[in-house]
Chains A and B, each alone.
Chain A
Amino acid sequence: MSTDPSRQGPADPARRWHDMGGDLAGPVPGEEHDFALWEKRVDALVILSGLKGVFTVDGLRRVLEDMGPEAFETMTYYERWVAALNQNHLERGTYTVAELGAKMEEVRARGATYGEAADAT
């Protein structure tokens, strides 16, 4: 959450939580990590969804921004992206909630690691 006193109190309708330029905040974190395969795949699926005309970067950002500041603090970057990817595909009717649920069950049943679960063969 913002630590800037100017951001406390009633929400400013002209400025949503993601519009954080100028807020106070702590030191810039020094950690970096290499992207995991699943994260690169999320990125690839978002880019490809755009190239295929399923949704645009604005569709991605609309869902990310609607998640609110809590998601920004509790989920990683690509966790938020995969949730936004999913929401856009559900809205566009690429698949139904039921189909997603069944597929996720199927994936989970394959194994306990990403490598096992990602391998459908």
Chain B
Amino acid sequence: MPHDHHHHDHLSPSGHPYRPDQDTGLSYWQVMEIAIRELMIEKGVVTAAEVAAQVEAMDARSPAQGAAVVARAWTDPDFRARLLEDGSAACAEMGFDVKPMRLIAVENDAATHNVVVCTLCSCYPRNLLGLPPDWYKSRAYRSRTVREPRTVLAEFGLNLPDDVTVRVHDSTADMRYIVVPSRPAGTEGLDEAALAALVTRDSMIGVGVAREP
């Protein structure tokens, strides 16, 4: 099942298996991408530098940014309150611009577990977490998370007690959610950076919980 880290052969630097289309022949759709990009540049819609900068900005975004937000919320009660009040503004404080989307932070506690899905497409807080994983965009996840969330979570290895309420949040094109996972026990002495290292991507989608120290 999906986890933040895989242990397989033939892994990319970030620990994911390569997809065949990265090392085999040129596909029809790859040809189309090259052609559209060059036509957009020739017609003056974009410049090659703008495309390169956009790809670079995409590569710079990772779950580390979301983890930093969560760690700040764990250690700074005022920030936590601002984050829960207006997620977009609180993230902007930390230099993470999530515009034009409205970001809503939802917090787990002993009685409530939150999980995020996009049933209509694949809306995801990409400015905070990077691009969504493949499973998030799958028919199975989109369909079943709102129907049988506990079963889906169990497939991710997360078995919640019956007395924990599960809240499922369905994202839209204009509104994104991030889960603030519960702070693990035994982390009282940790600083913000050490805490951030415990916050996994999956815990911020809600299909996992934060790591134990």
Q: Which residues of A contact B (CB under 8 A)?
A: 2, 4, 18-38, 40-45, 47-49, 52, 54, 57-58, 61, 64, 72, 75-79, 82-83, 85-86, 89, 94-95, 99-100, 103-104, 106-108, 111-114, 116-118, 120
Partner of B50, one of A48, A57, A112: A48
Chain A interface: which of B28-36, B67-75, B82-90, B158-166? B28-36
Residue total for B at the interface (Cβ-Cβ under 8 A): 59
Partner of A19, one of B19, B120, B173: B120
| Known A31-B135, A48-B46, A113-B25; contact A41-B31, beta-carbon cutoff 8 A | no
27 contacts between A and B (CB under 8 A): A20-B119, A20-B139, A21-B142, A25-B143, A28-B2, A28-B138, A28-B140, A29-B138, A30-B135, A32-B6, A32-B16, A32-B133, A32-B135, A34-B14, A43-B131, A45-B51, A47-B54, A48-B54, A72-B139, A82-B32, A85-B36, A89-B39, A104-B31, A107-B31, A107-B38, A116-B26, A118-B34
Residue B94 at the A interface, CB < 8 A? no
